[in-house]
């Protein structure tokens, strides 16, 4: 069933919408949740939560791309679970490794860090806008969705070393972006 | 910036960018023109293959039950590192081999001094199997896995072809064996070892992956031969 038909079911409050959406997108959503959580049970619960959120938010929302919308809901649900698990010292997922890569971003001192942190909250999208579509998608697949380098290599049809190079360059760009923001402040 | 701040920062990503990225793995063709071209070419190749050899791949997958297995991705090197190198091999104790193979085709449990339980039997289809439970350390109840040695010359080559082709990235050569390590959807590890007509399958839980190395060390040896069971 195509997305338009599934959305019609959502708008008609027909519960078949959930079944059809699950048939089409559940495995993608599970993959996203599993990237972040690294745990089957938690990931399954997050996917269920995401579908419930979709049911509760469509309508009024009318996503142009249902799969992408569900992916985002799943990612947010999984990140919330991840934070809860991290607080309880549980973890061991691909996203942990990905976030560790971003820790290399150098910040000069605490005062600047705080300013930057607040500023950057609103300007990360400006940074993303400055990237090419491919760079942006690779960056987000790794750091927003927590995909493994190997998985991304298959998705983007690029060699793993090439993916690593793109990520490294993008992190450096982000570092420069942070420095410029600090100077502007 | 600490990890929490970074994570919160990434949370601020605009939904349009997030959804654009999501489309890459939902519909890879939307990622770039070049990848779309690659996909079209791949599709043409697949169609050609299926026209020439209709349904062959699907039949293999169904027949050998590998559709539910997935290659290990993130941790493959980590896990494969527990498999010893050829230079690390030690010969299997011949006394153990003799004792191990002492079972007849009927159920014949035995136990050696190292807490290895084993027996041989012939199943209804005539396949001869040796089952082995063994433990390391003092509490064997927590650390054991089963080994099944199936000597089925007519089909073992087909199994080998399918497994090694499908999971070629996870294959290593150790001694006379081609070793293939896979995990299933329940995170259970399956290690297949192929040599001639012999196929050995080791199964263990992911958290017990450290047992695979010692297990392979014991198995990669000429002492266990198909002839000995016949």
CB A33 within 8 A of CB A47: yes
Chains A, B: CB contacts within 8 A come to 119
Whole-number percent of chain B with pLDDT over 90: 0
Contacts of B4 in chain A (CB under 8 A): 83
String of DSSP letters for A122-147: HHHHHHHHHS-HHHHHHHHHHHTS--
CB B191 within 8 A of CB B181: yes
Q: What ipTM was predicted for this assembly?
A: 0.76
Q: A172-182 burial, b if ≥16 CB within 10 A, otherwise e? A: eebeebbbebb
CA distance B40 to A67: 22
pLDDT higher at B198 or A16:
A16
Q: Please give the domain boundaries of chain A with CATH numbers for all domains.
A: 3-87 (1.10.1740.10), 97-184 (1.10.10.10)
pLDDT higher at A87 or B57:
A87
Q: Residue B222: is its pLDDT beyond 60?
A: no
B105 falls in which pLDDT band (50, 70, 90)?
Answer: very low
A51 falls in which pLDDT band (50, 70, 90)?
Answer: very high
CB contact under 8 A, B73 and A148: yes
CB B70 within 8 A of CB B182: yes
Q: Residue A180: is its pLDDT beyond 80?
A: no
Q: Residue B50: is its pLDDT beyond 80?
A: no
CB B158 within 8 A of CB B171: no
CA distance A155 to A150: 9
> A66 vs chain B: nearest CA distance in angstroms?
9
pLDDT, tens digit, 9 for 90 and up, residues B176-196:
777 777 766 666 667 777 777
Average pLDDT, integer, range A47-68: 87
Q: Residue B116: is its pLDDT beyond 60?
A: no
| Model pLDDT, residue B160 | 72
CB A6 within 8 A of CB A20: yes
Q: Say yes or no: B38 contacts chain A, CB-CB below 8 A.
A: yes
A185 falls in which pLDDT band (50, 70, 90)?
Answer: low
Q: Which residues pair with B135 in a beta bridge?
A: B144
Sign of the CA dihedral running B47, B49, B51, B56: negative
Number of H helices, E strands in chain B: 9, 9
Task: Work out the burial of residue A137: count CB atoms within 10 Å of its CB; fewer than 13 is exposed, 13-18 middle, 19 or more buried.
Answer: buried
CA A137 from centroid of its chain's CA atoms: 10
Q: Residue A168: is its pLDDT beyond 70?
A: yes
pLDDT, tens digit, 9 for 90 and up, residues A134-146:
888 898 888 888 8
């Amino acid at each position: 069933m195509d997305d338009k038909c599934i959305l019609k079911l959502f708008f008609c409050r027909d519960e078949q919408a959930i079944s059809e959406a699950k048939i089409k997108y559940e495995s993608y959503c599970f993959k996203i949740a599993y990237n972040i959580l690294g745990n089957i049970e938690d990931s399954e619960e997050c996917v269920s939560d995401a579908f419930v959120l979709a049911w509760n938010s469509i309508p009024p929302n009318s996503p142009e791309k249902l799969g992408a919308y569900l992916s985002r809901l799943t990612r947010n649900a999984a990140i919330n679970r991840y934070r809860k698990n991290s607080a309880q010292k549980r973890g061991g997922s691909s996203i942990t490794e990905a976030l560790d890569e971003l820790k290399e971003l150098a910040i000069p001192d605490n005062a600047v860090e705080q300013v930057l942190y607040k500023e950057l909250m609103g300007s990360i999208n400006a940074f993303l806008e400055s990237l090419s579509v491919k760079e942006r998608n690779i960056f987000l697949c790794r750091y927003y969705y927590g995909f493994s380098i190997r998985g991304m290599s298959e998705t983007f049809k690029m060699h793993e070393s090439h993916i690593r190079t793109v990520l490294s360059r993008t992190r450096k760009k982000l570092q420069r972006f942070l420095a410029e923001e600090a100077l502007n402040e | 910036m600490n990890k929490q701040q970074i994570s919160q920062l990434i949370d601020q990503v605009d939904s349009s960018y997030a959804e654009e990225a999501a489309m890459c793995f939902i519909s890879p063709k939307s990622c770039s023109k070049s990848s779309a071209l690659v996909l079209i070419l791949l599709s043409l190749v697949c169609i050609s293959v299926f026209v020439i050899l209709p349904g062959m791949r699907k039949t293999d997958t169904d027949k050998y039950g590998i559709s539910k297995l997935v290659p290990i991705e993130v941790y493959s090197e980590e896990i494969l590192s527990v498999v010893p190198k050829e230079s690390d091999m030690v010969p299997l104790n011949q006394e153990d081999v003799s004792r191990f193979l002492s079972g007849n085709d009927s159920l014949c449990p035995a136990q050696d001094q190292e807490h290895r339980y084993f027996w041989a039997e012939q199943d209804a289809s005539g396949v001869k199997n040796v089952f082995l439970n063994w433990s390391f350390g003092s509490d064997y109840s927590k650390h054991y896995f089963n080994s099944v040695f199936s000597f089925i010359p007519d089909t073992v080559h087909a199994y080998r072809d399918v497994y090694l082709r499908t999971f070629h990235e996870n294959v290593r050569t150790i001694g006379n064996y081609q070793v293939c390590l896979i995990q299933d959807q329940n995170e259970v590890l399956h290690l297949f070892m192929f040599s001639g007509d012999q196929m050995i399958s080791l199964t263990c839980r992911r958290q017990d992956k450290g047992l695979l190395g010692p297990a392979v060390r014991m198995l990669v040896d000429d002492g266990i031969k198909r002839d000995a069971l016949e």
